[in-house]
Amino acid sequence: MIFEPNDLDSFRRIALENGTALISTHVHPDADAIGSVLAMREMLSQIGTNSKVVLEEGCPPRYRFLPGGDEIVNLRDVDHGKFSAAIILDSGSLDRIGDVQALLSPNAKIVNIDHHVSNTRFGKLNFVNTTCSATGELLFELASAMNLRMTADLASNLYAGILTDTGRFRYSNTTPRTMQVVGKLMSEGADAFAITDLMYYDIPSNDLLSLGAILATLELFADGLVSTLSVKLERLVGDPDTVVDLALSVHGVEVAAMFSETHEGKIRVSFRSKHVVDVSAIAEKFGGGGHIRAAGCRMLGTLDSVRERILPAIFDALNKQAIQTVAEEC
């Protein structure tokens, strides 16, 4: 992404001239969201701006090893009044930050930094680039454009986001530029090996026990093109994205969907696709969003009732793709 000088000046003004800046991201944050808010906190510090990172439920325990992770504030512990400036990261729309919205003053100046195709451009200033593999990659470009110092902590937080949003560099959003960026982050101190181990190979024993029960729910539909998994509340795992990736890895499957109960009473639906189906378009139909090959939404209902609503949308997407493919071949 090319950052125009006027946009960079606007960013600095919003951050510098409106008191302490709020930094936040979407509810139920993943590693790209956490890495991005922590990276932005350091970036603002480098330009002389005070900031506070506030998330609706604080920092998930599995990401607290990231530099600064223990300084993320849970919304219920905030003693600050209204914020006049906010930097919102990795969030397709403002309502995705949940009740943190209540901390914004009525005329708050918002900077929206994201890479999702579903982004609604809700900010006064919008840095949205859907060609970036992760918000972490976009922040690397922003830090470079602002001539900020790439410290080991900053590099580590950015690396964590890119690592996970590319599925360990397996997804189709991994580009040559992505690999150039992660190479530079490693050269600046990001410990790729330690981050990968802590993110993917430090699994609680209860999660492994739950995994067996979850995989036992595997079902195939549409002549093996679609796979589903169901997760009861007592079987929730720390890294659900890795589990739905297993459903996608089944031979012949094009679209995988995992339906998980949540403590909020909603069903979390995680989508993955291999080659042709845009699952972000499916997720958007049900109030969610995400990437072309990885997306999600949350819905009211039971595991069975939500699956009955979702499966027809997946079948419809497959049928439309088949028709398009035939048309292109004619």
List the domain range (segments joined by +) for residue 312: 205-329
pLDDT of residue 28: 87
Residue 125, token pair as written in the block: 């200033």
- The pLDDT of residue 327 is 46
Does the predicted model carry a pTM greater than 0.85? yes
Q: Over the stretch 143-156, which tens digit does the pLDDT of each residue have?
A: 999 999 999 999 99
| Nearest by Cα to 268 from 256, 258, 277 | 258
From 170, 200, 230, the end of a domain falls on 200
Total count of domains within the chain: 2
**Cα separation values, 290 from 2, 133, 256, 295, 313, Å:** 23, 12, 15, 4, 16
Same domain, 194 and 213: no
Residue where a domain stops, chosen among 200, 226, 248: 200
pLDDT in tens, 71-84: 999 999 997 789 99
Q: Could you tell me if 234 and 183 lie in one domain?
A: no
Using the Cα atoms of residue 104, residue 110, residue 113 and residue 115 in order, give the sign of their dihedral: positive
Q: In this structure, what CATH number is given to the domain that contains residue 159?
A: 3.90.1640.10
pLDDT value at residue 323? 61
Same domain, 88 and 220: no
For position 282, what pLDDT does the model report? 96
Which residues of the chain carry a pLDDT beneath 70? 322-330
- 211 and 76, same domain (yes or no): no
Last residue of a domain, one of 168, 200, 232: 200
- 147 & 209 share domain: no
| pLDDT for residue 239 | 82
**Residue 112 to residues 85, 127, 305: CA-CA distances in angstroms?**
11, 6, 35
CB 80 within 8 A of CB 97: no
